[in-house]
Amino acid sequence: MTDDDLGPDGGTLMAMDFDPEHGGGGWHVGVRNVLLIAVREYRIATRGRWSIGLAVLFALFSVGIVAFGTSRVGPAQYDAVLASLAELGVYLIPLVALAVGYDTVVGAEESGALDMLFSLPVSRGQVVLGKYLGRAGVLATGMLVGLGVGGVAVVGVIGGTGIAKYAAFVLIATATGSAFLGVGVLVSTVAREKARALALALAAWVWFVLLHDLAAIALIATVDLPDSVLAGMVLTNPADVFRVLVLSQLQTAPGGFAAVLAKAALSMPVLVVALALWIIVPVSLATSTIGRRRV
């Protein structure tokens, strides 16, 4: 995602837009500063057609699953479609979110835009939080629109009996994208070069989507693990939290490793809190780490 030095009104982002004394003056001033940065980031992305590209990608993904995964109507078919969306979305959603987030800071630094933002009367942490929120808005817009197209296709092909389950899937998927975007922003904050940030983002995807589960399967195959350990395996991986949240709504019994994850017997509130923490913690670490970054 390309960064530049244009403000949200299409002109240069000026110091007078922000409260002086680097975000001082109360929490409401800090919120205003963060929102100014977020709006700027969102408009940069929309000018670059990122939101359109994301919407098209997720529309093709969801409509494709509906088109190739429907042979009958009724609630059971809704479950089959949602299970397919969850099992394939666990690969796509983290990859897209990390791709959106990995150059948030390091890309702005290489383009010179970060120097401009840090020269404004706003704290570094507020800059990072604003940039995250702007990109989260772009990602959420693309996912909601794209998966919404899939929802229209689901209703047209299967009917509207299970649309509430599909809507819940869309919300869970969007939250999961926000979590992995936070991981991408954290990677971008600690990496010194854009190429290294990309490598770290890909390594994060490989770990959370592939290696974590492979390691868990190997451990489960050799040791009789208690439910608490299985729960820990789920909660320490946002991809697994996403999968269990979606599959726990379905009457269709999951297969493979998803069936093992289901044995963790985690409640819906615990899973929701875990996903929320996966959004909050990486972003909080990024906002605190940026203060030690040399620009």
The pLDDT tens digits for 72-87 are 555 567 888 888 899 8
Q: Is residue 33 part of a domain?
A: yes
Q: Is residue 34 part of a domain?
A: yes
Structure tokens that stand for 64 in this block = 């494709």
Which of 163, 141, 137, 133 minimizes the C-alpha distance to 150?
163
Q: In the 8-state DSSP scheme, what is residue 14? A: P
Q: Is residue 266 part of a domain?
A: no
**Tens of pLDDT along 8-42?**
344 355 544 555 544 445 667 778 889 999 999 99
Which residue has better confidence, 275 or 154?
Answer: 275
Asked if residue 5 has pLDDT above 90, the reply is: no
Domains of the chain: total: 1
pLDDT of residue 6: 44
Q: Is residue 210 part of a domain?
A: no
Which of 239, 183, 193, 197 minimizes the C-alpha distance to 214?
239
Percent of the chain whose pLDDT exceeds 70: 83
Task: Domain of residue 174: give its range.
Answer: 15-201+282-292
* Number of residues that make up the chain: 295
Angle 75-101/238-247 helices, nearest 10 degrees? 160
The predicted model scores a pTM of 0.89
Q: Is residue 256 part of a domain?
A: no
Structure tokens that stand for 83 in this block = 């299970």
Instruction: Tell me the average pLDDT of the chain.
Output: 84
